[in-house]
Homo-oligomer: A and B are copies of this chain.
Amino acid sequence: MQKYSFKDDYSEGAHPEILKVLTDTNYIQTIGYGEDEFSEKARELIKEKINNQNVDIHFATGGTQANLIVISSILKPYHSVIAATTAHIEVHEAGAIEAVGHKINTVETKDGKLSPDLVKGVIDYHTDEHMVKPKMVFISNSTETGTIYSKKELTELSEFCKKNKLYLYIDGARLASALTSEKNDLTLKDISELTDIFYIGGTKNGALLGEAIVINNDELKEDFRFYLKQKGALLAKGRLLGIQFLTLFKDNLYFQLAEYANKNAKKIADAFKSKGYSFLSEPATNQLFPILPDELINKLHKKYDFYVWSKIDEKHSAVRIICSWATKENDVNAFIDEII
């Protein structure tokens, strides 16, 4: 590839520290399937960050895998999951959730976020055994459209779920970018306290692959490893996931990488703003959705790769620009210089 890419946050390999630790520990013999000392240590570090010893932590290889395992481990066959129409599980997982047997009840949102009101509409509609029974609320933070939940929003949603016996699950593929956003007021501890289960995304924040599923609700902990095994998620060399999370969580690297990605995204966002462009959703994380004239898009596309997200009108489209832990500041500056 010749053009520099702002298409996504998984274009490069892993943060070099991860490769270094993989290399340094390479010949140490461990037992397999996630019970090795590295995975154990990684779990301990994450529990410390969450400030709660009473959670269970398991590693999966990617977001779709984490989602399908979590959801199928919790829901009974007639239960459904409530999600935004823009949710990753609804749009971009090739029917993974339905393939494990569950309907997704979707809700139109204005910003990719669910609220008690939106969820209430769904549960009020489902009244008897001729319909599915909604039992889980799925949200992403940051969302698929780059927005984030405030502590107030998440607290209200959490309380609503508890009151209505709905499990609350956060897809944290880009949790790091959310928690290091300038606009964020949530901590990892809050996330853990306000949800039943969530995952901490590694793949999009410096790992080769890997997501850490955190189970807060005791009810959901039993026999979870059976689900991992049955869905093909229990890696023989589980150390691969353990070592990566251990490295990311040892010296706060995980949050530093996301902060760096957000910072560069903000630079680009500010550049677009200074030229008067608006956005599909207000920039908050490492994903930007500026609305640009097609001419400018064509100009930028000559040197840069990025997705055209949606057509806005005859002459404008929204595009998606993503920065990552690996984005180089030089490239950001050069890109900004092209914005007219």
Contacts and interface: CB of A to CB of B under 8 A. Distances in A.
Interface stretch (A11-19, A190-198, A294-302): A11-19
A43 interface: no
A116 interface: no
A92 B131 contact: yes
Nearest to A23: B19
Interface string A65-83: 1111100110011101000
At the interface, is chain A mostly helix, strand, loop or mixed?
Answer: loop
Interface stretch (A24-32, A164-172, A175-183, A268-276): A24-32
B230 A77 contact: yes
A10 B237 contact: yes
Contacts of A100: 77, 101
A204 interface: yes
Copies in the complex: 4
Contact of A12 (B26, B77, B208, B223): B26
Interface of A: 1, 4-5, 7-8, 10-14, 16, 19, 22-23, 25-33, 60-69, 72-73, 76-78, 80, 91-96, 98-104, 129-133, 203-204, 208-209, 223, 225-237, 239-240, 326
26 contacts: A8-B32, A10-B236, A13-B27, A13-B240, A16-B23, A23-B23, A33-B130, A61-B61, A61-B209, A62-B235, A64-B232, A65-B232, A72-B77, A73-B77, A77-B99, A78-B223, A93-B229, A95-B132, A96-B232, A99-B101, A103-B104, A129-B223, A130-B234, A133-B223, A209-B236, A209-B237
- State the 8 A-B residue pairs at the shortest beta-carbon distance, nearest first: A65-B232, A78-B226, A13-B26, A94-B229, A95-B132, A10-B236, A94-B230, A129-B225
